[in-house]
Amino acid sequence: MRWRVIGSGAFCPVAVSRRPGQITLFARGATGELLYREWESGSWSDLHSLGVPVARIEGSALAVPADWQFAACSGDPKRIEVFARSPDGDLLHMTASEGEWGTFECLGAPATTSGGIAVPLGLVGPPAVCGVGPDRIDVLAVGQTGELLHTWWDGKTWSGFDSLGVPVMQSGGTQRSVPLSGPLAACRCGADRMGVFVRGSRGDLMMKWWDGTRWSEFVSLGWPEVPDEIYPAVTVAAPLTGPPAACSWGPNRMDVFARGSSGEVIHKWWDGRDWSAFVSLGMPVTADAEPTPLSSTGAIAACTWGVNRLDVFTRAVDGNLYHAWWDGSWDHD
Q: Which residues are CB-contacts of 195 (< 8 A; sequence separation ≥ 6)?
A: 186, 187, 189, 207, 208, 209, 210, 246, 248, 254
**Averaged pLDDT of the chain:** 92
Mean pLDDT computed over 251-279: 96
Domain coordinates in residue numbering, the chain: 4-326
For residue 234, pLDDT beyond 90: no
For residue 4, pLDDT beyond 90: yes
Distance CA 118, CA 152 (A): 21
**Angle at the Cα of 99 from the Cα atoms of 315 and 80, rounded to 5 degrees:** 60
pLDDT digits (tens, 9 = 90+) for 290-315: 889 999 998 999 999 999 999 999 99
Distance CA 175, CA 304 (A): 37
Distance CA 326, CA 333 (A): 13
pLDDT digits (tens, 9 = 90+) for 83-118: 999 999 999 999 998 888 999 999 998 877 667 777
**In the CATH scheme, what architecture does the domain 4-326 have?**
6 Propeller (2.120)
Long-range contacts of 173-180 (CB under 8 A, 24+ apart): 177/146, 178/146, 179/145, 179/146, 179/147, 180/125, 180/142, 180/146, 180/147, 180/148
Q: What is the 3-state secondary structure (H, E, C) of the chain?
A: CCCEEEEECEEEEEEECCCCCEEEEEEEECCCCEEEEEEECCEECCCEECCCCEEECCCCCCEEECEEEEEEEEEECCEEEEEEECCCCCEEEEEEECCEECCEEEEECCEEEECCEEEECCCCCCCEEEECCCCCEEEEEECCCCCEEEEEECCCCECCCEECCCCEEEECCEEEECCCCCCEEEEECCCCCEEEEEECCCCCEEEEEECCCCECCCEECCCCEEECCCCCCCEEECCCCCCCEEEEEECCEEEEEEECCCCCEEEEEECCCCECCCEECCCCECCCCCCCECCEEEEEEEEEEECCEEEEEEEECCCEEEEEEECCCCCCC
Distances (CA, A) of 133 to 79, 137, 315: 11, 8, 31
Distance CA 73, CA 266 (A): 23
Q: Give bridge partners of residue 150 from the DSSP assignment.
A: 140, 162
pLDDT digits (tens, 9 = 90+) for 151-201: 999 999 999 999 999 988 776 677 888 899 889 999 999 888 999 999 998
Q: Model pTM?
A: 0.94
Distance CA 78, CA 146 (A): 35
Predicted pLDDT at 283 = 94
For residue 284, pLDDT beyond 90: yes
